[in-house]
Amino acid sequence: MQRFFPTFAAIKPMPMNYPISITKIAETRISKVDFNNLGFGKVFSDHMFIADYKDGVWKDMRIVPFDYLPMHPAMSSIHYGQSIFEGLKARRRANKDIIVFRPDKNLERMNISAHRMAMPEIPEDLFYSAINELLKLDEKWIPDGENSSLYIRPFLFATDEFIGIRRSDWYKFIIFTSPVSSYYSGDVKVYASDKYVRAFPGGTGFAKTAGNYARAIQPVEEINKKGYQQILWLDGVEKKYLQEIGTMNIFVIIDGVVLTPSLDEGTILPGITRDSVLSLLKDWNIPFEVRRVSIDEIADAHNRGALEDAFGAGTAATISPIMAIGYGDDEFVLPPVSERAISNRLKEALTLIKNGEVEDSHHWLYVVKP
């Protein structure tokens, strides 16, 4: 089957020198933060990084106090949706090193998204320099809690002051950070919808662009009323093949084999946690298949007692157990989490790797330079 998007390897480093000016906040706000009750995405650190793209080059790289942004009413990203983002996390290792999990993959995916949305790529040196300096400056904001981390949000959007659909000339690249606890407070129930569609082949399903998430809000509100937390998207053509969950990639285990949907049609976000899960399964010689998985196959496996596990994989939650999958008037209830050997092992392994508590044999950790 034709692949509609470039692989991660398609992005090449662009070594350049990007000096960053730093303006520190007059007084930190950290003393006002309750680190025992963080939630997710509600608290923001002292500083943010900003860079502007004009005349075909990146310029005016700066770290400034976190604040509101002035904008022109005709700013093109508001009207035409040229906006992409990423999400990654920083933690502190026992030896006090600040570590980030697989930021190279976030950069590569961001540049793939940028290419699809007709936006400029983020140079490698710019990306790493910005994250490095920002984390050094706000390192005290990295929480110490067991399920906590410092969430890093890079995003890029068009800033042309122009009403008209075309590639913009001006862009702004910003990174801010946010101390967070777990995204999900517990296990999740998902509902497989054949009413709404997230992506079609040839579209933007593989890109981490803002519109992909906006279109999920109304469907999720509807399934919340049914008692489900997240939507399980089905393909847009036959409306029977699993795609992804609202904020995660999906895995199921049937008859001892781990299954996850293929990325070949370009309708699914190529998750970094997803890629990490597949690497670990290969290391452990656990059988897995990357292929089309239908909701009918899920129903059949459940009916014959072969649906052993289902879980979401993503940056925010790492591994999130799925307790039930709803579809139409049916609900496929999964076994208790305590009985799920593979997903529990994956969650423990990924947590230890992300926290820097075990050997980083895959070289997945970036250590912030002093």
Q: Each residue's pLDDT tens digit in the chain (370 positions)? A: 333 333 333 333 334 467 899 999 999 999 999 998 898 999 999 999 999 999 999 999 999 999 999 999 999 999 999 999 999 999 999 999 999 999 999 999 999 999 999 999 999 999 999 999 999 999 999 999 888 999 999 999 999 999 999 999 999 999 999 999 877 666 799 999 999 999 999 999 999 999 999 999 999 999 999 999 999 999 999 999 999 998 899 999 999 999 999 999 999 999 999 999 999 999 999 999 999 999 999 999 999 999 999 999 999 889 999 999 999 999 999 999 999 999 999 999 999 999 999 999 999 999 998 8
pLDDT at residue 316, rounded to an integer: 82
Q: What is the pLDDT of residue 167?
A: 94
- 242-245 and 230-234 beta bridge pairing: antiparallel
Q: d(Cα 225, Cα 313) in Å, to the nearest integer?
A: 24
pLDDT at 134 (0 to 100): 98
3-class DSSP assignment, residue 205: coil
Alpha-carbon span 124 to 111, nearest angstrom:
10
Angle at the Cα of 291 from the Cα atoms of 285 and 296, rounded to 5 degrees = 115
Pick the closest to residue 320 from 329, 311, 308, 331 (CA basis): 311
Please report the domains of the chain, with CATH numbers, ordered by start residue: 8-180 (3.30.470.10), 188-354 (3.20.10.10)
Query: Which pLDDT value is given to residue 303?
Result: 97
Instruction: Calculate the alpha carbon distances from 107 to 123, 126, 324 in Å.
Output: 9, 10, 34
**pLDDT score, position 15:** 43
Tell which residue, 250, 200, 188, 196, has the closest CA to residue 219.
Answer: 196
C-alpha dihedral sign at 53, 61, 161, 86: positive
pLDDT at 317: 81
Spatial distance between the Cα atoms of 320 and 60, rounded to a whole number of angstroms = 40
Residue with tokens 């290792």: 93
What pLDDT sits at residue 147?
85
Segment (H or E) for 327: strand 318-327
Instruction: Count other C-beta atoms under 10 Å from residue 91's C-beta.
Output: 20
| 216, 91 Cβ separation under 8 angstroms | no
Distance CA(247)–CA(98), nearest Å, equals 26
> What pLDDT score was predicted for residue 51?
98
Residue type, 50: I
